[in-house]
Amino acid sequence: MVWAMSVAAAIQAPPRLTRRVPVLTSGLGVVHLVYAVAESPDVLRAMAADGILAAANDYQRDYVTWFVVAGFTLLMTGSILRWTVRRTGQVPPSAGWWLLGTGIFAVILEPTGGAWALVLLGALTAYASRQEVRNPASSEPRR
């Protein structure tokens, strides 16, 4: 029992932003999926009625398909980040840079689109990856 309490005391919760990044990433994925359904319900119904195989065969269907794919990809990324933060207490630096780079590329292609949210998420993730988690059992920061 004493050993378990000392182990629990040695483990410190990650910084708040580090804990929030996976939630924000998954949240952006949910927004993507909800927006696709709310913006294009007729297109989704037509795709379902025609069958899923080769259903994205025009501009509107391509748009909805990639919006849904991006939503699921963000949900997956948020899930992986959540697992990583729980295991290590940190966000991998590469996650922030990938999100930021992808967001900047999307903003260059479509400056008036919603990719600014991905730029912000990438910047927050990159910043969160630089926060140190101190282990009270040692004087060394955990990186």
Q: How many CA atoms lie within 13 A of 18 on its CB side?
A: 22
Q: How many domains does the chain have?
A: 1
Is residue 29, in this structure, part of any structural domain at all?
yes
Is residue 1, in this structure, part of any structural domain at all?
no
> What pLDDT, on a 0 to 100 scale, did the predictor assign at position 9?
44
> What pLDDT, on a 0 to 100 scale, did the predictor assign at position 142?
52
**Terminal CA-CA length for the chain:** 29
> What pLDDT, on a 0 to 100 scale, did the predictor assign at position 64?
92
> What pLDDT, on a 0 to 100 scale, did the predictor assign at position 128?
93
Provide the residue range defining the domain that includes 46: 16-132
pLDDT tens digit at each of 143 positions of the chain: 545 544 454 456 788 899 999 999 999 999 999 999 999 999 999 999 988 888 888 999 999 999 999 999 999 999 999 999 999 999 999 999 999 999 999 999 999 999 999 999 999 999 999 876 555 454 455 55
CA distances from 40 to 31, 52, 116 (A): 14, 16, 22
> What pLDDT, on a 0 to 100 scale, did the predictor assign at position 92?
94
Is residue 139, in this structure, part of any structural domain at all?
no
Provide the whole-model pTM.
0.80
Tokens read off for 17 = 């932003």
Is residue 9, in this structure, part of any structural domain at all?
no
Is residue 4, in this structure, part of any structural domain at all?
no
Contact 85, 19 (CB under 8 A): yes
Is residue 11, in this structure, part of any structural domain at all?
no
CA dihedral 12, 16, 17, 22 (to 10 degrees): 80
Q: What is the DSSP letter of 137?
A: T
Burial of 35 (0-12, 13-18, 19+ CB in 10 A): middle
Is residue 103, in this structure, part of any structural domain at all?
yes
